[in-house]
Amino acid sequence: MTADPSGLVAEAFEAQRDRLRALAYRVLGSHADAEDVVQEAWMRLVRQDGASIGNLAGWLTTVVGRISLDLLRSRQARPETAYGHGFAELVVTPGGDPAPDEQVALADSVGFALLVVLDSLTPGERLAFVLHDMFAVPFQEIGQILGKSADATKMIASRARRKVQAVDRPACPGREHREVVRAFRAAALGGDFEALLRVLDPDVKLTVDTPGGVVVTLGATKVAAGARMFSGEAARHRPVLVNGVPGHMSWRPDGTPLSVVAFTVAEGRITGIHIIVDPAKLASIRLPDPA
């Protein structure tokens, strides 16, 4: 693209930035990756001959879609980089009724539930579903990104929609979920092994994000045996929602985050526990300590 002395191209791009960022985030499930994709779209726009672009919004949608699709496919080739299983994006809000200024973060955490569901789709299905059902992009334009006909793209989107509708999305935790989490914490603090087994699903999965990597423990007996890890720093913690599921957060005496624990609850038992102690991930949390 030729120089833009009047700044009209940059101004037009900035008018599209929020929409493009939202689109890329819904496709990729990562704010950081979405920012990178939008920046790459800008760089491609700068190199493009402006006279060849008839519809800037449509052109940018196509470019962002293609870059996002390539990134999704690269993740599929390298499963360890997938975002749906490691809380790569942490949205932590207080566990009680949120204040008005916390509503946006809470909405993000509820939206994360949909991102978890979208992880069950293939890259093509996810892109087609997001672009058509969330952003009303015509099937013909989506097909250009996928290299498919409009009819084939419509079938891909329909298949994706059926998959999304068939999956039970994680619900916002109610009183029963919070009671299960409180019962688990009380049993852990009291060293009550039998009470722990009663509240844990037999096939519970414990995942711990550490600076050295991810450690996974399977089964209620093993998780209950190691429950002493939940008893530390009991005086400086508060109930929270972690990406929309109930949990706890604790702080060091200097006010820096120590850990975040998230619980997945189904049918009155804990089926999953995710602990984050990696300082790099905890650094993104802006929730102040309760002291």
Q: pTM for the full model?
A: 0.54
- Count up the domains in the chain and report the number: 2
142-180 pLDDT, tens digit per residue, is 999 999 999 999 999 999 988 877 765 555 555 677 788
| 86: in domain | no
3 lies in some domain: no
- Encode pLDDT of 9-32 as tens digits: 888 899 999 899 888 888 887 777
Per 3-state DSSP, the chain is made up of helix, strand and coil in percentages (nearest 5) of 55, 20, 30
Q: Contact, 31 vs 89, CB < 8 A?
A: yes
Residues 106 and 32 in one domain: yes
Supply the CATH number for residue 269's domain: 3.10.450.50
* 3-state secondary structure at position 32: helix
Domain that holds residue 220: 175-282
**249 occurs within a structural domain:** yes
Answer whether residue 1 is part of any domain. Answer: no
Same domain, 63 and 132: yes
For 67-105, the pLDDT digits (tens) are: 999 988 887 665 444 434 445 556 676 665 444 444 444
- Asked if the structure places residue 212 within a domain, the reply is yes
State the maximum Cα–Cα separation within the chain, in Å, rounded to a whole number. 72
> Which helix H or strand E contains 65, and what residues bound it?
helix 56-77
Report, in angstroms and rounded to the nearest whole number, the Rg of the chain calculated over CA atoms: 22
Pairing type for strands 200-210 and 213-218 reads: antiparallel
Cα separation, 163 vs 117, in Å, equals 9
